[in-house]
Amino acid sequence: MSNASDQLIHTTVRIECCKADGTQIAGTGFVFNFCQRDEGSVPAIVTNRHVVEGAETGVFHMTLRGDDGGPRLGEYVEVPLEGIKTAWIGHPSTAIDLAAIPLAPVINWLHEDGKKAYYIGLHREFLADAEFMAELTAVEDVLMIGYPNGLWDSQHNLPIVRRGITATPPYVDFNGKPEFMIDCACFPGSSGSPVVLYNMGGHTKKSGAVVLGSGRVKLLGVLWGGPKHTARGDIEIVPVPSAVQPIALSPIPINLGYCVKADQLLAFEEYFEALISEEAKTQIGEEAEPAA
C-alpha cells in the first residue's frame, strides 16, 4: 500500500482497560518504532498515561499478517495485557500524559502460536521536531486516527479517521506547555490518538508560497484531552439499567483537543537506547567470562 492514508489506518490499536473500581475505559494507541536502525527497532504502543494508569486488566487488538505481507482484514487477535500494572512505561515527566507499551512480548507471543501481526509503525523520520514545527503556519490540516466513544469497525479491526485543523500555532507551546490545540471532533476513546499533518497534492509555506505536488505526512502530536461545555438543566431522577440516578449536568465536547507535541516521544527513545546499551554490555560480559 503506497497511499499514506491506507497506511495510517494500520498504525493504531483499540485499547480496552478495566480499572480497580470496575470502570471500563476505551482508548487509542499507535505503534511507534523507537531506536530505528538497519538491524531493527524497538516497537511500542504509545498511548496516554491516563488510559492505562490504575488499570487492573487490559486488552488490545492486532490484525494478522498474510503470506503476502499484507493485512488479513477481518482476521485479528485480542491481545491480553498481562501484568498491565508493569507492562507500560510512563513519560519521565508526570506532567506529560504519555505512556509506552513495548510490543516485543506480543510479537513473540504471536510467533509462538505461528502468527504474525500486521501493523505500520511510525518512526523518528515521521516525527515533527521543533525545527519542522517552526516552518509550519498557524493553521494546518490534520488527521486524527482513533476510536471516538470506543467506536470502530469491529469486523475489520479498523479505526475512525477525523479531519481537522490546528487551533493554535503548532510552533508555539500552548500556555507554556509542550502542547498545541486542534479544532477537531474529540470524544472519549480518542485519548492517545496520533494527530498527523496531512497534505496531499501541495501545501502553503510560511512565506505564503504555494508548493504543488509535494505531500507532507508528519506526526505532530498525541491527543490527550479537551475542554467541555457543561449544560445545566433541571435535576431529574431517571432509570438506568440497575439503579435510579439523579442527573444534573451534561458535559458537551466543544470540538477542541489538547495535544502533546510529538517531540516528547524522544524521551522514550532515550529510555530504550539506554536499555539497548545495558543489554549490549551484559552480552559482552557474558561472552568474555571464562569457561569453568
Per-residue model confidence (pLDDT) at position 241: 46
- Please calculate the CA angle 120-124-128 and round it to the nearest 5 degrees: 105
Contacts 24+ apart (CB under 8 A), 107-112: 107/43, 109/79, 110/62, 110/77
Per-residue model confidence (pLDDT) at position 243: 47
Range of the domain at 26: 4-288
Compare 200 and 261 and report the one with higher pLDDT: 261
Q: What is the pLDDT of residues 123-168, one digit of tens each?
A: 999 999 999 999 999 999 999 999 998 899 999 999 999 999 999 9
Domain count, the chain: 1
| Helix (H) / strand (E) containing 180 | strand 179-183
- CATH number for the domain harbouring residue 32: 2.40.10.120
How confident is residue 289, by pLDDT bands cut at 50, 70 and 90? low
- Considering the chain, what is the average pLDDT of its residues? 87
Q: What is the pLDDT of residues 27-80, one digit of tens each?
A: 999 999 999 887 788 999 999 999 999 899 999 999 999 999 999 999 999 999
Least confident of 108-122, 227-241, 245-259: 227-241
Q: What is the pLDDT of residues 177-198, one digit of tens each?
A: 999 999 998 888 899 999 999 9
Q: What is the pLDDT of residues 14-29, one digit of tens each?
A: 999 998 888 888 999 9
Q: What is the pLDDT of residues 203-224, one digit of tens each?
A: 888 888 888 877 899 999 999 9
Q: State whether residue 274 is helix, strand or coil.
A: helix
Q: How far apart are CA 63 and CA 156, in angstroms?
A: 8
